[in-house]
Amino acid sequence: MRIVIQRVSHASVTINGTVKSSIGKGYLILLGVCEEDTEEDVDWLVHKVVGLRVFDDENGVMNRSVMEVGGEALVVSQFTLFASYKKGNRPSWLRAARHEVSVPLYELFCKKLSNEMGKACGTGEFGADMKVELLNDGPVTICMDTKNKE
C-alpha cells in the first residue's frame, strides 16, 4: 500500500462538475493498493498518518500532528501510484490491485482513519474520473509505502 500525503490549506474532489468532498487545513492523501496488501498495511499506515508531525508549533517547527491542529483528511484512490515505467513509455498497472481487493481496503483505510481522527474523512469515488484541487502548504509532500517500513 502506498500513499502520497500532502499537507494542505484546503483540498477538494469534484466529480462530473459537482464537489463530492472538500476539507480545510489537513491532509490530502492519495492511496494506492496492490494485490499483496492486507488489513495490517491499513493499520500501519493509519497509525503513521495520525502520528506524523508536519504541522508547525508555536516556534515554527514541524512538531504537531494533524490531530493536534484539529485538521481534516481527504482520501483519494490512486491506482497509478503502482505504475511500472521500466519498459517503454506507456506505464503498466499490473501491480495495482483488482477492484475486489482495492475497494474494501480503500474503504477500510477511510473508516479507520476517520475513527482515529474522531471525524469523517472526505473521500473521492473509487474508479471515477476525479478532479482534485489542493493548495499544498509548505509545500509538504511525503510518500509512504508499507513494503518499505524500515
Is residue 6 part of the annotated active site? The answer reads no
Identified catalytic residue from 14, 18, 55, 78: 78
Is residue 80 part of the annotated active site? The answer reads yes
Identified catalytic residue from 55, 79, 82, 109: 79
Sign, CA torsion 26/32/37/38: positive
Contact (Cβ atoms closer than 8 angstroms) between residue 106 and residue 33 = yes
Angle at which helices 39-51 and 99-117 cross, to 10°: 40
Q: CA-CA distances (angstroms) from residue 9 to 13, 61, 132, 140?
A: 14, 17, 14, 11
Is residue 78 part of the annotated active site? The answer reads yes
Identified catalytic residue from 6, 14, 18, 80: 80
- Nearest C-alpha neighbor of 127 from the set 84, 96, 89, 91: 96
**Residue that is written with C-alpha cell 482515529 in the block:** 116
What positions carry a catalytic annotation?
A: 78-80
